[in-house]
A and B are shown apart, each in its own frame.
Chain A
Amino acid sequence: MWFAGNAAHLVPIFSVRGTKSGIDDADNLAWKLAFVINSVGPERLLDSYSDERVFAAHENPGYGKKSTEFMAPPSFAFELMPTAVLSLAVRHPGMRLLINPRQTSVISYTKSPLNAMSDPLANGPAPGAVLPECPLALVERGDVRGAHMTGLVALRFTALYFCETSGIPADLRELEVHARTRGLPLPFTLVPVCRRQPIDATRLTAWDRLGRTAPDVRRAPGHAASHPPGWTRTWPLDACER
């Protein structure tokens, strides 16, 4: 039996956290059910629904509490300090986050069984965190178009390789061959993310014109799976089999 959505009304109303979490619950369950029904994912994928969303249910009250304190201050101090923050926020942008009831915070599934652990990436998101969004140029078949990081999200495993230009080392290119021979349930695509204009304009390449860095191996819908430093050659494929 699955108990999904906001049916339990676990969190205070102020942040609309219950509704948002309910949508997340349904989304999380829906793609996993679809994967298992269509034999794209193993049955144990369904267990991760509970692991991830129970984790989220434990995180939610903290966010709900913050909004409640903002909307219905439990003491004079919870009125004084927001007043101080509000009066400073115009000229001191750093203060603004203190009066944001964090209605849009997204849960990072830091303990999800779908995360593949490796050495942390210093400047990237932790495994289980949502893929950070940023504008990118996508180069493909000699064409360049404006897009975003989430434009790389598709029904496939997407490995991002961060590099200066589009030269992918031979052993990395072999990953795509290995992926085919291993019979992964979804296509495996290696997408270089370049800091400079890609030399090879034929294969799908993301070009980060501002030269920032971002995450690397992604798991199916929109959460970072892990990071390659210290990887073995087939490590990303092992991660896909989760």
Chain B
Amino acid sequence: MTDSELDTVYTRLCKTMTELGEPSSPLFLARFALLAIGRLGNADAALRLIENACDGMNAPATR
């Protein structure tokens, strides 16, 4: 994948979510993640990606 191809995919992702609307985006991303995991076909790699994606995100403090 070239830099420009990556950019095309990124932009398509943004446009698709914009069209679907914010409320539908979590489901869209969940579907995308599942399909990507299936295509990846490697449990260790998928678990690392989950960790990487979560890294630096903080769960909101509960009161």
Contact = CB atoms under 8 A, between A and B. Distances in A.
B26 A92 contact: no
Interface of A: 80-81, 83-85, 87-88, 92, 94-95, 98
Given A81-B34, A87-B27, A88-B34, 18 more contacts: A80-B27, A80-B30, A83-B27, A83-B30, A84-B27, A84-B30, A84-B31, A84-B33, A84-B34, A85-B34, A87-B31, A88-B31, A88-B35, A92-B35, A92-B38, A94-B38, A95-B34, A98-B34
Nearest to A84: B30
Contacts of A85: 34
A131 to B, nearest CB: 27
Interface string B28-62: 00110111001000000000000000000000000
Interface of B: 26-27, 30-31, 33-35, 38
Contacts of A83: 27, 30
Contacts of B33: 84
Nearest to A76: B26
Nearest to B38: A94
Nearest to A83: B27
A94 B31 CA distance: 13
Contacts of B35: 88, 92
Contacts of A98: 34
A95 B32 CA distance: 12
A95 B38 CA distance: 8
21 contacts: A80-B26, A80-B27, A80-B30, A81-B30, A81-B34, A83-B30, A84-B27, A84-B30, A84-B31, A84-B33, A84-B34, A87-B27, A87-B31, A88-B31, A88-B34, A88-B35, A92-B35, A92-B38, A95-B34, A95-B38, A98-B34
Nearest to B39: A94
A85 B30 CA distance: 9
